[in-house]
Structure 1
């Protein structure tokens, strides 16, 4: 590989003719590359000439590279290429990258490229496609036309691409009257995002598996709109202003596995969503409540994202049918009461962060023994409810990560659950058992303590996010925490010195980790503790 930010040196040493791979990048060539420099490299299989400020190439540039299989000319300033420039490589060239150049026309450029399978034309200045644009590409399977200036597509433009399986034509100002016809029946992936579509396009292969339509203007889905694409596995409709999905518009897609519908205006869903769905992404919509019928038949659903809506209330049993749900995201909503919510036992990832709850019951985790990641960060809370009829110990033995950043007083309640005892507890006391917790996040809570013996009850804790300058360093549990902080295998965020003493006055602003830096400091602390104890006794007698 040759790389430099300097001017190209034409006197570079001659390369041996046996070189199989050559990469030249970040030189400022400005004009055309010398044909002589490449003429002796007859064994070359892969050539990368990127970021060279190339504006043109001689028609003979690759004339001696008949064995070339991969050619990358991306990130240059090439405005045009002559027909025939790839003739010498035509029988072996399989991969061609011309992305991020300034090409305005490519008609008949690829005639003879009978072996080419992958063609990248992203981010050029192409304005139209004609029936002659892709002549000769009989083996092409991948075509990327993203981010050009294509306004018109002549009928039959894709007619010669009989093996095309992957088409990206997103981010182009294509005329709304454009028809996508004569596309290969092998086509499995089509991205027509951000091309100002107002309805589902017709004419694409009925056997397509992945259809991407984000950033268009499709405001509603009606029954029959997708009947031409019954084999879809993936459907993306993000950022369309979509406000309605009518019954039966998706119900016939019995092979649909993933559905993205983020950043729209949906307030509800039809009850006949296909039961084949495994992933459903609905963030940044306008849902205000979740009723019982929303997910009734989605028994195969594994991931559900409802974040950044305006959800205030949830029917307690709305998720009980989702027996395979692994990941649930309800963050950034307006949830008020989760005291009676029933969660599926399959759940492993739960995000309830950034809500404004007035009532929360830790008992909801009784039904989630497989939970691995729980986030309650940025959550305000007025009341914690304890159901006296439930088991007093909640076992979450698979929980690895607990995020309580900026969630006071909820964080304080959770720490009490982690440090309280199952035995001899009062009727309103619960114990949260998380023996395998490895990450605990408590940033921005200004706590004075993590509670008695917390560290000893979390033997696998390796990452602690905690910043507080209000630590009461006279408490024994904080003395133990100070010792724990000195362990070399422990990661403290933002740093081990971000946890500082507030009390006693004598050690105010001292990083907690430095309490046990020397034996003398430990002795001083013992003296402080004794003095405080004597002072308290005198006050009581008085």
Structure 2
């Protein structure tokens, strides 16, 4: 028995010792000396280390590191400008090296020789070292295993085919924020595994013939690119994301005919400066002819290839479009999101060219488009034919335009008209958008919201904020009562007498802040509002029976910026009892007599602030009673005294 117990104890000790050693080994896999003001590498580092962080220190020189198992070394943000010749010789397992934000532009000869021994390196970061083309070429010698290279913020002015000739396995190259204006043919083409190429923030002026079928992500943003052209052939390109934002593009890019492009970023360019879509297409064709000495047969051959693209997202915001490129964009059969804000549109007309002799207008469709952003364009009119083409639209952002919604009877008239007349009298027939769920009409200077303005839509959220002089007519929301969940009608300068809301059983969020309201519409009692914002209005009290009804679903309520009566606060008691969140209660004030109080101060002892007036009244009436009683007694005494006096005088006589 004793022997059996001893064996068990020995087994437990052995197991515990094994766990302890393993835990210690795991703990020693990684060590950080980050931000310790070190001027040199600490001595006696454990040889079992796998990851070592020495970033954000003051190290200037690097001597031999004897860490045979080290895989990751971070020396970023030091003052390194000199490596001893054998600095990296004993780092046989090193795969990731971060040397960014140092002074590696100095001592190029000895430093590059020291780095040449790291033939197994997979990731190298040389960012922010003021490195020239020649310096980078030296540092990249003997790097056959390299698959990630980052050189952000250096001073490279050109790239050539010899730069990466010893690093054919590169998958990701980041050379943004340099001075590159020239890329020699053959620089990236031999890199068959290259998937991500970031050349943002350089001085590239054009891409004449894009020939990188292996690349999936290409970032050319913030250059000076005027055009992007690919030779039309049957080569399949793997390109999925193309970023050409913040350039000087005049035309839509001529992308590879066969591609996998899903995301195209073209914001902040000069596309649309040529006034019309036909002109833009014609000029692009001419450019292509000039570059490749070819003759484009059909009018829209280049952009007709867009039919083959699986594009789901395109950003054309902050360009110079004066007309909407209907024909070109309608070719994108998979497009789900189109950002077209901050352009120069005033009207979206149905200017479609007929390529046949048949009479009537040619109808195009945006079969997959769900999200359309047209904010800040100055739009006055949108053709019903264009709205009819948005067969799957769900979100429409029209903020900061000048559009007037039609009433339901106007919908019918607008949909029958194909010729725009007086643009000042025209309206937008939202009733055509049967799939519409989210509509933003903020800051459109809407004058009148007519009855049934959104009839036949499927609105879930509606933003009508900052339409300062808007008249909201009775029945304006008729037709969306059962679907509307979020309604914003703040900053409209509206009084309670002009706010007409129907029963909205699906409503969960209501914002009526920054108006002149003194009463919450009683029709809200049948809604399911969870968040209510009544800030900055003229409320002195709230209907406590309505508040009680709302608390069945209410979770958050914003109430500051009103002048509540401290002594008429049964509604507040109900909110507190139901534990409704009041995030701005510390900013909310109420008044009692001629004094204002912060609501929280009042809530601590409401009786104290409301009783002084009652006591004053009691004291006032008491004093009057005493004075009257005193006068009566005085009068009685005087009468008695005068009678006695008269009696005495009569007796003497």
Question: 1:499 and 1:412 mapped to 2: Cα distance?
Answer: 25
1:113 Cα deviation from its structure 2 partner:
1.9
Q: CA deviation at 1:362?
A: 7.6
Give 1:141-152 correspondences, 5 Å limit.
Answer: 141-152=171-182
| Counterpart Cα distance in 2 of 1:100 and 1:462 | 50
Aligned-residue offset at 1:511 = 3.0
Q: Distance between the aligned counterparts of 2:304 and 2:87, measured in 1?
A: 55
Where does residue 341 of structure 1 map in the other structure?
430
Q: TM-score, normalised by structure 1?
A: 0.79
Matched with 2:344 is: 286
How far the C-alpha of 1:310 sits from its partner, in A, is 0.9
Structure 2 spans left out of the alignment, 5+ residues: 1-31, 282-299, 353-362, 408-428, 508-520, 619-653
Match of 1:95 in 2: 123
* Match runs of 1:143-292 below 5 Å: 143-176=173-206, 179=208, 183-202=211-230, 207=237, 208-221=239-252, 225-226=254-255, 228=257, 230-243=259-272, 244-246=276-278, 248=300, 250-254=303-307, 255-272=310-327, 273=330, 274-291=332-349
1:134 equivalent to 2:164? Answer yes
**If each structure's helix is expressed as a fraction of its own residues, which one has the higher value?**
2
Contact 1:411–1:442, Cα closer than 8 Å, also in 2: no
The yes-or-no answer on 1:382 pairing with 2:478 is no
Residue 253 of structure 1 aligns to a residue whose secondary structure is helix
Deviation at 1:443, TM superposition (A): 4.7
Structure 1 pair 443–292 and aligned structure 2 pair: CA distance change class (3 A): farther
CA contact (8 A) 1:190 1:212 kept: yes
TM-score between both structures, scaled by the size of structure 2:
0.67
Deviation string 1:422-478 (CA, Å, 9 cap, x unpaired) is 9xxxxxx99568855444445555555666625632644434444314335565xx5
Measured in 1, the distance between the counterparts of 2:477 and 2:598 equals 43
The answer for the alignment partner of 2:512 in structure 1 is none
Deviation of 1:268 (Å): 2.3
For residue 77 of structure 2, the aligned residue among 42, 51, 73 is: 51
Indicate if the aligned counterparts of 2:267 and 2:318 stay in contact, CA closer than 8 A: yes
Name which of structure 1's ranges 256-265 and 334-343 shifts more when overlaid on structure 2.
334-343
Matching of residues 309-328 of structure 1 within 5 Å: 309-315=377-383, 318-319=386-387, 321-328=389-396
Preserved CA contact (<8 Å) 2:454 2:477 = no
CA distance in structure 1 between the aligned counterparts of 2:183 and 2:476, rounded to whole angstroms: 69
CA positional deviation for 1:140: 0.9
Larger Cα-atom Rg: 2
Cα distance in 1, alignment partners of residues 262 and 74 from structure 2:
35
**CA separation of 1:289 and 1:179: change in aligned 2, threshold 3 A:** closer
The structure with higher relative contact order (CA 8 Å, sep 6+) is 1
Q: Which runs of 5+ in 1 are unaligned?
A: 423-428, 532-542
Pairwise CA RMSD: 3.9
User: CA–CA distance in 2 between the matches of 1:267 and 1:374?
Assistant: 27
SS in structure 2 of the partner of residue 96 of structure 1: strand
1:384-413 residue CA offsets vs partner (Å, 9 max, x unmatched): 12348946x81246x3x5544434328986
Which residue of structure 1 aligns with residue 397 of structure 2?
A: 329
Equivalent residue number for residue 480 of structure 1: 571
Distance in 1 (alpha carbons) for counterparts of 2:250 and 2:306: 20
Which structure features the higher share of strand residues? 1
Figure out how many residues of one structure are paired with residues of the other and give that number: 503
Contact 2:40 2:58 in 1 (8 A): no
Contact in 2 for aligned 1:351/1:376 (Cα 8 Å): yes
Write the distance in 1 (CA, Å) between the matches of 2:127 and 2:451: 53
**1:199 and 1:454, CA in 2 relative to 1: closer, same or farther beyond 3 A?**
farther
